[in-house]
Amino acid sequence: MRDRLVKVTIVGCLAFVVPPTGALANSGIVVDSREYKLLLNPDQFTGDAATRASEFWESRLKPIIASRLDPRDNGQSRAKKSFELDRQRRIVFRDTATCVLSRIGLSYRERKNSTSASGRDATSEVTLKLRGPDIFLANAYRFKGVGGGKSKFEEDVSIAADVAGSKHRFSYSVSKKGPAASVASTLQGVIEAFPDIDNALKTLSSSALRTDVELVTGPTFLELVYSGAKVDLGQDTDGEFDFTFWYPADAVALDRPVVVEISYSYDTDDGAVDRGVAQRSAKLFTGLVTALGSAIATGSQSKTSRALPNSCRED
């Protein structure tokens, strides 16, 4: 376990700072997982998603892993397994017309399974997430959901849209499953489902709140997630890849995605991360950014932003 800041610099590319996870755990802040994310140019992934996922793994990701990371003890590459379709669902985000939630780093998301004959499911999963660059603020406004729910505190690593280097954001989220009718239609409905969030809304908002305002929806997407491919980071820790495709919900054919994201994540050991694991995961991200080049999407690297109501999106 580390108590000091360890800085790993890759000359001529990206600089990564490995947070002192041991010190954070000692302070009561435990990050459950870390996820590295890159939005890709969707025009390069037209056609059958399963075929594109397989090609990307074999021709791009596996060579990058082999060239950037040391081999395993048996001499083999650290790349493991392959992509398979794991999840298919409809996804939509909601906010007020004046972006009350997104302005303070909150997002309210609904997901519905989309594997039945009708393409819909009677059960929805709603997630409220508070995300920002300040780990202490993200931790300070922890909340619960009425009737329980699954909570998670995680770190997201991406690239900044306008400067060289990595972008670290921390998020606390609670996800709940229930009937579709339980999805909030007003800001008050969000507060009633996640009562503790009222404190964050009042404290972080810059103006007086009206909780009776209606929520508006962003575009609805059909999401395909391919999982199963992994990278061995050492110390019995695998980075698990997700390859995500978003299509317009009314698309006749799923052959032209509008959002494509490659990501990999690993769980911490009660907030602690082995130094070798942290260094390999950061080194791999540097390799991906360098090698993928023009395949990386321009503009905002926020997938969520692209699903928000128009007035709430990042440039």
Q: What is the 3-state secondary structure (H, E, C) of 39-77?
A: EECHHHHCCCHHHHHHHHHHHHHHHHHHHHCCCCCCCCC
Domain ranges of the chain: 6-312
Cβ burial, residue 289 (10 Å; 0-12/13-18/19+): buried
* DSSP H or E run through 137: helix 135-140
CATH number of 6-312, picked from 3.40.1390.40, 3.40.640.10, 3.40.50.620, 2.40.320.10: 2.40.320.10
CB 209 within 8 A of CB 100: yes
Instruction: Per-residue pLDDT tens, the chain, 315 aa: give them.
Output: 333 333 322 233 333 344 445 445 556 899 999 999 999 999 999 999 999 999 999 999 999 999 999 999 999 999 999 999 999 999 999 999 999 999 999 999 999 986 544 445 557 899 999 999 999 999 999 999 988 899 999 999 999 876 567 899 999 999 998 876 689 999 999 999 999 999 899 899 887 789 999 999 999 999 999 999 999 999 999 999 999 999 999 999 999 999 999 999 999 999 999 999 999 999 999 999 999 999 999 888 899 999 999 999 876
Q: Is 286 helix (H, G, I), strand (E, B) or coil?
A: helix
What torsion, rounded to 10 degrees, do the Cα atoms 49, 55, 56, 57 define? Answer: 110
Give pTM, 2 decimals. 0.88
Q: Is 227 helix (H, G, I), strand (E, B) or coil?
A: strand
Query: 50 CB contacts (<8 Å, ≥6 apart)?
Result: 83, 85, 226
